[in-house]
A and B are shown apart, each in its own frame.
Chain A
Amino acid sequence: MTHAATQTGGKPLPRTPLYFAAMAALILAVGFLQSWNSALSILNMGLISAIMALGVNLQWGYAGLFNTGVMGFVALGGLAVVLTSMPPVPAAWAAGGGRVILALAVGVIAIVAAALAYPRLPKGRIRGLVIAAILIVGLWAFRTLFDPAVAAIEAVNPAVSGYLGGLGLPVILAWPVGALLAAGAAWLVAKTALGLRSDYLAIATLGIAEIIVAMMKNEDWLSRGVKNVNGLPRPVPYEINLQQAEWFLSLMHRIGMDPVTGSSVFVKLLYAGFFLAVIVIIVTAMELALKSPWGRMMRAIRDNEVAAEAMGKDVTGRHLQIFVLGAAIIGFAGAMMTTLDGQLTPTTYQPLRYTFLVWVMVIVGGSGNNWGAVLGGMLIWFLWVEVEPIGAWIVGLLTSGMEDGALKSGLIERVAYMRYLTMGIILLVVLRFSPRGLLPEK
């Protein structure tokens, strides 16, 4: 294996900068061959994917936790954008805002009461009955308060609002809020599912992700459900305003670019600047953490849980910590993505796209290596976007001699689904022939 040789033979070859240069060349090629707008779109989503991959890498690469609930944490990040940055809807708050919050509080109190009562009651039938009674009364009180309040909120101008709205804060604040929401959900999952076998954690996280997305699709009072939230505020200027600004027009004139294309490139560049800053901060923090005693402890736990436990390390506690941290990073990226999209569309959250694709990124990039996760995120996103045009081009070439007919149109139609097949094959090939990924852990 040449990989191993370059790693062990004294000074390693500068593989990392080489691969990143190649990645940059790929994006530049899109810029020259297709358009700068597509190139920058790929770059921006690639950077966001890279952050998601960093979150998964923290959980898997550092601690060996198999999280298949990435989609849920991404979706919570998206929800955070709505809750933080959209203006509140005063009519909806007046109609039932207070009552919904009261209902939720009642629900939480019932669950906490049941959880507190459980260990204090004597084992046996009485305990079962009391717990059941607490939960049933709690559910009844919750629904009695909740249902009319929700109906009142959703009746407030349903075509444009029908939900409570957000806090009307700057949208950048939504990113850490997304991290907090995801961390909270992750804490709940981890409390129940960590310490179980690794594939049970995988299935539990798969489930929580489905539930989070189902909640966002159904709780119209919170997120407008399948009616989507459009027109989210942006941290960057709008293209239309740029196209009317004096300084922008003169700038475009100077570099000889069409102001319409230029404005959209300019906006994307601003986003890219934001995202790059976030990546630099996260990677630096993670690299520092990896080199610290904490990082060594994490790797020791990952490599041999029993030995680490024998040395007095709190394995489950550390796992909980890292699971929550990883989820927070994913939530952060989810909020960034929804900000970039400018809308929250709960129906677009699919496990293949948001959970398993991120896994492909981590494995291909190199689990345990932060630079690998970044590279994997960008490369796999690039392929995810470009497989379709490349496939279409190849099929076009192959079928150019064919007569128009069912076969030709069928082939061209099927190219659209090639990305799933390609991602699967890439993952399987990497796992088989280079399981440590493009940039292996040092």
Chain B
Amino acid sequence: MDILNALVAFTNFVVVPATAYGAQLALGALGVTLIYGVLRFSNFAHGETMSFGAMVVVLVTGLFKSWGISLGVLPTALLALPFGILATALLLLATDKVVYKFYRKVKAAPVMLVIVSTGVMFVMNGLVRMVVGTDDRRFADGARFVINAREFKAWSGLEEGLAIKTTQVITVVVALITVAALFWFLNKTRTGKSMRAYSDNEDLALLSGINPERVVTITWILVGALATIAGALYGLDKSFKPFIFQQLLLPVFAAAIVGGIGNPLGAIAGGFVIAFSEVTLTYAFKKVVTYLGPDSWSPDGLVQLLSTDYKYAVSFAILIIVLIFKPTGLFKGQNI
């Protein structure tokens, strides 16, 4: 029995990565949920929006590096983030003007807008590929670890090491700041309140003189910021691969729906539920079980419930369970 080592191994391989991944998913799901709440459709182009934002951050980071600008121990990408947000927000506003506005005007059915968003997805996907190609890019720089496994072992005297990457800490910190700012905006400012009112009851909001186009514009800007931050953090933590964002679409949607689509608090909870389930169910518990079991006993297999390639199956299964038993999600959906 060695509870401490088991705990450290579990933290190192499950809790830390799942927290970072959960924060990234939560930010992605917040974007999906805002669009759903205000524009009332599921945006299939959201994965590509994240990809576009991350791409701009990657490119600006490269530019800064070539100029010799850096943030020391922090990744340069943090400096590039505002530029990514700006570019993505502009792209989204342009897309809205050219594409979505028309369907709002004719009051098209939501499913029509979903199909339109798949067209936008194609365009953004092509755009990203044409600008940066399909290669894998690493753009994280600065210090690699906040806590490194060897130092942790020396400090604690345990067999098992604990490593926390800088990008993981940054992910959580940036996500916290972003979410705090978003909630402050939605709950305290006049514009944020008008957004919530519009999402809650469109007719009443219009009657009380809220300008719908302004609400939509603000929403797209917020979505641009959230998507860029989510995409850039994911890219920092792993690496930037254009096609990976297509696959992120499913867990992001699952997070939004599990939490209750249209509900920002739910999106955050959903992101962590999905991330922790994915990582826990696909983690090989052999090490942890070996520490917990009696001495000189170790399981034969990996004690892994699912192979890591099935991580999307986990988000899907949770999604289905929630849809069957609690179709409105863990938190009540439909309003922001």
Enumerate chain A residues within 8 angstroms of B173, measured Cβ to Cβ.
none
A66 touches B126 (CB 8 A): no
Q: Which of A192, A217, A421 contacts B309 (CB 8 A)?
A: A217
- B residues 125-147 near A (Cβ < 8 Å) are 125-127, 129-130, 133-134
- Chain B residue nearest to A357 (CB atoms) is B122
A421 touches B130 (CB 8 A): yes
A66 touches B111 (CB 8 A): yes
B66 sits at the interface (CB 8 A): no
Q: Render B246-257 as a binary contact track against A, CB cut-off 8 A, 1 for contact.
A: 110110011001
Enumerate chain A residues within 8 angstroms of B246, measured Cβ to Cβ.
350-352
**How far, in Å, is A303 (CB) from chain B's closest CB?**
12
B54 sits at the interface (CB 8 A): no
Given A208-B316, A214-B313, A428-B99, decide whether A192 and B324 contact each other with a Cβ distance below 8 A.
Answer: yes
The number of residue pairs between A and B whose CB atoms lie closer than 8 Å in the complex comes to: 133
Count of chain B residues with Cβ under 8 Å from any Cβ of A? 47
Inter-chain CA distance A431–B111, complex, in Å, is: 12
Inter-chain CA distance A423–B249, complex, in Å, is: 20
- A residues 53-72 near B (Cβ < 8 Å) are 64, 66, 68
- B residues 112-166 near A (Cβ < 8 Å) are 112, 114-116, 118-127, 129-130, 133-134
B208 sits at the interface (CB 8 A): no
Inter-chain CA distance A202–B323, complex, in Å, is: 13
B240 sits at the interface (CB 8 A): no
Interface size classification for chain A: 35 or more
**How far, in Å, is B315 (CB) from chain A's closest CB?**
7
B119 touches A424 (CB 8 A): yes
Inter-chain CA distance A414–B114, complex, in Å, is: 28
A179 sits at the interface (CB 8 A): no
B327 sits at the interface (CB 8 A): yes
**How far, in Å, is A278 (CB) from chain B's closest CB?**
27
Interface-forming stretch among A193-201, A263-271, A280-288? Answer: A193-201
A420 touches B323 (CB 8 A): no
- Chain B residue nearest to A65 (CB atoms) is B111
Enumerate chain A residues within 8 angstroms of B116, measured Cβ to Cβ.
428, 431
Interface core residue of A68, A203, A419 (most chain B CB under 10 Å): A203
B121 touches A424 (CB 8 A): yes
B323 touches A207 (CB 8 A): no
A413 sits at the interface (CB 8 A): yes
A199 touches B250 (CB 8 A): no
A20 sits at the interface (CB 8 A): no
**How far, in Å, is A212 (CB) from chain B's closest CB?**
10
**How far, in Å, is A115 (CB) from chain B's closest CB?**
11
- B residues 256-277 near A (Cβ < 8 Å) are 257
B122 touches A206 (CB 8 A): no
- B residues 307-327 near A (Cβ < 8 Å) are 307, 309-310, 312-313, 315-316, 319-320, 323-324, 327
B126 touches A199 (CB 8 A): no
A363 touches B253 (CB 8 A): no
Enumerate chain B residues within 8 angstroms of A200, measured Cβ to Cβ.
257, 323, 327
Inter-chain CA distance A423–B5, complex, in Å, is: 54
**How far, in Å, is B212 (CB) from chain A's closest CB?**
21
B291 sits at the interface (CB 8 A): no
Q: Render B80-103 as a binary contact track against A, CB cut-off 8 A, 1 for contact.
A: 000000000000000000010010
Q: Which of A193, A207, A356, A359 contacts B315 (CB 8 A)?
A: A207
Inter-chain CA distance A359–B313, complex, in Å, is: 24
A203 touches B250 (CB 8 A): yes
**How far, in Å, is A266 (CB) from chain B's closest CB?**
36
A424 touches B125 (CB 8 A): yes
B110 sits at the interface (CB 8 A): yes
A218 sits at the interface (CB 8 A): yes
B316 touches A207 (CB 8 A): yes
Q: Which of A214, A356, A422, A431 contacts B126 (CB 8 A)?
A: A422
Enumerate chain A residues within 8 angstroms of B125, measured Cβ to Cβ.
352, 420, 424
**How far, in Å, is B290 (CB) from chain A's closest CB?**
18
Given A192-B323, A193-B320, A421-B130, decide whether A203 and B118 contact each other with a Cβ distance below 8 A.
Answer: no
A147 sits at the interface (CB 8 A): yes
A359 touches B130 (CB 8 A): no
Inter-chain CA distance A193–B324, complex, in Å, is: 8
Enumerate chain A residues within 8 angstroms of B323, measured Cβ to Cβ.
192-193, 196, 200, 204
Q: Render A408-425 as a binary contact track against B, CB cut-off 8 A, 1 for contact.
A: 000001100111111111
Q: Render A177-201 as a binary contact track against B, CB cut-off 8 A, 1 for contact.
A: 0000000000000001100101110
Enumerate chain A residues within 8 angstroms of B243, measured Cβ to Cβ.
350
Enumerate chain A residues within 8 angstroms of B257, measured Cβ to Cβ.
200, 203
- Chain B residue nearest to A424 (CB atoms) is B122
**How far, in Å, is A429 (CB) from chain B's closest CB?**
9
A427 sits at the interface (CB 8 A): yes
A388 sits at the interface (CB 8 A): no
Inter-chain CA distance A22–B297, complex, in Å, is: 73
Enumerate chain A residues within 8 angstroms of B130, measured Cβ to Cβ.
414, 417-418, 421
- A residues 153-173 near B (Cβ < 8 Å) are none
Given A192-B320, A203-B42, A204-B320, decide whether A211 and B126 contact each other with a Cβ distance below 8 A.
Answer: no
B41 sits at the interface (CB 8 A): yes
Q: A66-B115, A204-B319 are in contact. List 5 more A-B contacts (CB 8 A).
A: A66-B111, A202-B42, A350-B243, A356-B122, A431-B115
Could you show 24 A-B contacts with beta carbons less than 8 Å apart?
Answer: A68-B118, A139-B305, A193-B323, A200-B323, A202-B42, A203-B42, A203-B253, A203-B257, A206-B253, A207-B316, A215-B310, A218-B310, A352-B125, A356-B121, A417-B129, A418-B126, A420-B125, A420-B126, A421-B130, A422-B126, A424-B121, A427-B118, A428-B99, A428-B123
| 8 A-B pairs with the lowest CB-CB distances in the bound complex, closest first | A424-B122, A421-B126, A420-B126, A424-B123, A207-B316, A427-B119, A417-B129, A199-B42
